Amino acid sequence: MDTLGKTLTYQAAIAWETNSPLSIEEVKVEPPKAEEVHIKMASSGICGSADHVLKGLLPLNFPLIPGHEGAEIVDSIGEGVSSVKPGDKVLTLVVPQRRECSSCLHPRGNFCEKQDILPSSGLILDGTSRFTCKGEKIYNSFHTSTFTKHTAMPEIAVAKIDDAAPLGKVCLISCEVPTGYRAAVHSARVTPGSTCVVFGLGGVGSAVVMGCKASGASRIIGVDINEEKFPRGRALRVTDCLNPRNLKKPVQQVVVEMTGFGVDFAFEAIGLVDTMIAAWDSCHLSYGVCLIVGLAPSNSQLSLDAVKVISGRTLKGAYPFCLADYKTRGCIPQLVTDYLQKKINVDPLVTHQLPFHQPHKAFELYHTGKTIRCVLLF
């Protein structure tokens, strides 16, 4: 259906305030303005960052339509849009790529100045919202908002993907897979034969494990407090599973003893300061590399032993998509093609699929820890 020029009403899941249940509402969605696209959602992943948003751990404006890990079809385009056309399959991008700012133009930069994460206004590029409900303005999350049947977004926040892509699964390639997989392959540059530890075997941690394995790591230690994650972790080639709650010593000490001197590469994919410190302390003193992928609550501080910092270890951050020179619009479509060509496999990461109008059930499943990723289907 061509939505150009029309304000239409669609169902969307709204969070009216933090820590309140999502409510399915009729939402008015304005047509796309210049350099915007109107899209029809096909699927959206339920991820840890969306949970952080709903709990108020990240400073976003409410009421909002959450979700940022989406796969969809372009319905109509505003004036000046040239990279996509109606009918194209696309993925939403938390970090857009306008290709004009210092980050976009730098070979190793990708945190485009048009991003709406740090800080987040909850508005589209022109400072307005395309959503209203019951006469009230509804905010966006990170330019995306995927828990809605339709949305209008900036062209620079969508990436056209292969026509053959199965939309019920590839939504994970919009955020979770590039964040975790590329953190291992690209940011940490895991080497063949190396030892790794991954803190958190949820969606992002599982994608990190896949990246470690693809890079030839010989030992991958998985750490999680939920042992339901261990069988799936082992299927992805985690070699040793540790539950810190069942250990008599701090987990970092156990990891160092298991590997002799500490691991070559440690990843934190939980978002807690304590596990970030444990990941850092698990690394080899001299050449270990610690990569923080998890998003800690805003304003939390990371306190490290200053003496141990000078021994040579490296501490790096990999905020969603800020993976060195990993340009979002340029690189994400290639990951979809790699999936279609069976070079990477995201199928094991999609453990559950539910209809869009059951977001509560999806979050319930998420909180029990039974999922790697639950995908909402529209």
- Give the E-state strand segments of the chain in sequence order: 8-14, 23-29, 36-45, 70-77, 89-92, 131-133, 136-138, 150-154, 158-160, 195-199, 219-223, 240-242, 265-268, 289-292, 314-317, 350-355, 373-377
Active site residue 49: yes
Toward ligand PAD, which CB reaches closer, 101 or 272? 272
Report the nearest approach of ligand PAD to the CB of residue 214 (Å). 18
- Give the residue with the Cβ less far from Zn ion, 156 or 196: 156
Q: Is 117 in the site for Zn ion (CB under 5 A)?
A: no
Q: Which of 44, 49, 187, 206 is catalytic?
A: 49
The strand order across the sheet containing 265-268 reads 240-242, 219-223, 195-199, 265-268, 289-292, 314-317
Is there binding between residue 66 and ligand PAD (CB under 6 A)?
A: no
Binding track over 186-205 against ligand PAD, x by CB under 6 A: -------------xxxxxxx
Please choose, from the candidates 241, 94, 57, the residue with its C-alpha nearest in 3D space to the C-alpha of residue 179. 94
The answer to whether residue 272 forms part of the interface with Zn ion (CB under 5 A) is no
- Report the 10 Å Cβ neighbour count for 326: 22
With CB cut-offs between 5 and 8 Å by kind, which of Zn ion, ligand PAD, none does residue 93 bind?
none
Residue count, binding to ligand PAD (CB under 6 A) = 31
Q: Which stretch binds Zn ion (CB under 5 A): 35-43, 110-118, 120-128, 314-322?
A: 110-118
Torsion over CA: 118, 60, 318, 44 (sign): negative
Is 294 a residue that touches ligand PAD (CB under 6 A)?
A: yes
**Residue 124 touches ligand PAD, criterion: CB under 6 A:** no
Nearest approach, Cβ of 92 to ligand PAD (angstroms)? 11
Considering only residues 4, 261, 369, 370, which one is a binding residue for ligand PAD as defined by CB under 6 A?
Answer: 369
Q: Residue 104's binding partner, choosing from Zn ion, ligand PAD, none, with beta-carbon cut-off 5 to 8 A by kind? A: Zn ion
- Pair 192, 367: CB distance under 8 Å: no
Least distance from ligand PAD to the Cβ atom of residue 80, Å? 30
Residue 104 or 266: which CB sits closer to Zn ion?
Answer: 104
Is the distance from CB of 70 to CB of 148 less than 8 angstroms? no
| Site track for ligand PAD across 136-175, x = CB under 6 A | ---------------------------------------x
Q: Which stretch binds ligand PAD (CB under 6 A): 17-25, 219-227, 230-238, 280-288?
A: 219-227
User: Is residue 226 a contact residue for ligand PAD (CB under 6 A)?
Assistant: yes
Question: Is 282 known to be catalytic?
Answer: no
Calculated CA dihedral for residues 285, 291, 297, 299, nearest 10 degrees? 60
User: Residue 101's binding partner, choosing from Zn ion, ligand PAD, none, with beta-carbon cut-off 5 to 8 A by kind?
Assistant: Zn ion
Note the helical H segments in the chain: 48-54, 102-105, 167-170, 176-182, 203-214, 229-235, 251-259, 273-282, 306-309, 328-340, 359-368
d(CA 356, CA 7): 22
Q: In what order do the strands lie in the sheet with 23-29?
A: 8-14, 23-29, 131-133, 136-138
Distance CA 360, CA 125 (A): 30
Instruction: Note if 112 is an active site residue.
Output: no
Interface positions, 318-347, toward ligand PAD (CB under 6 A):
320
What are phi and psi for residue 314, nearest 5 degrees? -115, 135
Out of 116, 176, 240, 264, the residue judged to bind ligand PAD by CB under 6 A: 176
Place of tokens 């490290």: 304
- For the question of residue 360 being annotated catalytic, the response is no
Token output for 360: 């509560």
Interface with ligand PAD includes 49 (CB under 6 A)? yes
- If you count them, how many residues does the chain have? 378
- Bond into 154 cis (ω within 30): no
Q: Kindly state whether residue 254 participates in binding Zn ion, applying the rule CB under 5 A.
A: no
The site for ligand PAD (CB under 6 A) is made up of 47-49, 52, 69, 175-176, 179, 199-205, 223-226, 229, 244, 269-272, 275, 293-295, 320, 369
The site for Zn ion (CB under 5 A) is made up of 98, 101, 104, 112
Residues with catalytic annotation?
Answer: 47, 49, 52, 68, 175
